[in-house]
Structure 1
């Protein structure tokens, strides 16, 4: 190909497939998450459909990568991660890593105990680790309850029912690490947006 734009677009399909597979997501699950059809996603991944901005934006959001990563934009030389907070169930979740797959790092801000929506303990595959940056955290793991303060950390098997939140009238901030299973459990919207 002699056209640079065509070269860029030709590489989008394999990148989309690699991102989806790194998340262990099916075409059907990604279709639910993005509002695109599984057929459209398959044709994009196989290069039989030229991607549009309207298709790439929800895909970048679903995969948690900048649009530039999907089209392999040339690097700007800026190594900083541009933080884009996600708000979900009263939490503010700030991604601190930008590569797909593997262990992901997030700063999570839990609202004050009286303002947090009531949640039941959750379970999912994987392990999670968190470190308290600010405030006091109430951590329920199975039948046990722990109060953690600044500088304390916890690591646990996420197949055990668990719940994390602020322990008092102040927000609590934690640094958390989890793998793809934990990322899906914590970050997927309850009702995926449709485009």
Structure 2
């Protein structure tokens, strides 16, 4: 079994994230003000990240990786311990194409491709907590009494004990990143983003 990174090596890796963020931003020719506008992260938070005064988190690094168009690992500088690759084996689940992005156990992540035809809500409940991020197209989210539409770059998080369903708006397919955790494994997802718009 591969050894877990020591606390000192983890701290050293995190210390390198700030300089790496600044270098990538400057290579893209972007100012902090422009990045703040593109990501919804405040300029002061971005500055503290680059100066090492704030610890990087998934909720901050995801929108930055998307804005800079680089893999998340390029920002984190993840060490190569064994073979970190996940063997993507797409499978069909209830008419959707699902690609697992994590190994079994703990918090789970999937990329889900939802066909246009899946636009009829069928809410359900189960234990856990889910985070959704729209990669392409538009996604309809029905949760309790709410009926929402999320566009590219928008995210939602919710307790899955609330009746919920997500699918296509009926106007085209959608690609969604889904992160699911069992009770007590809630993913941190409080990065600012524009509010989803009610479905019509």
TM-score, with length taken from structure 1: 0.49
From the two aligned structures, give the one with the greater helix fraction.
1
Q: TM-score, normalization: structure 2?
A: 0.48
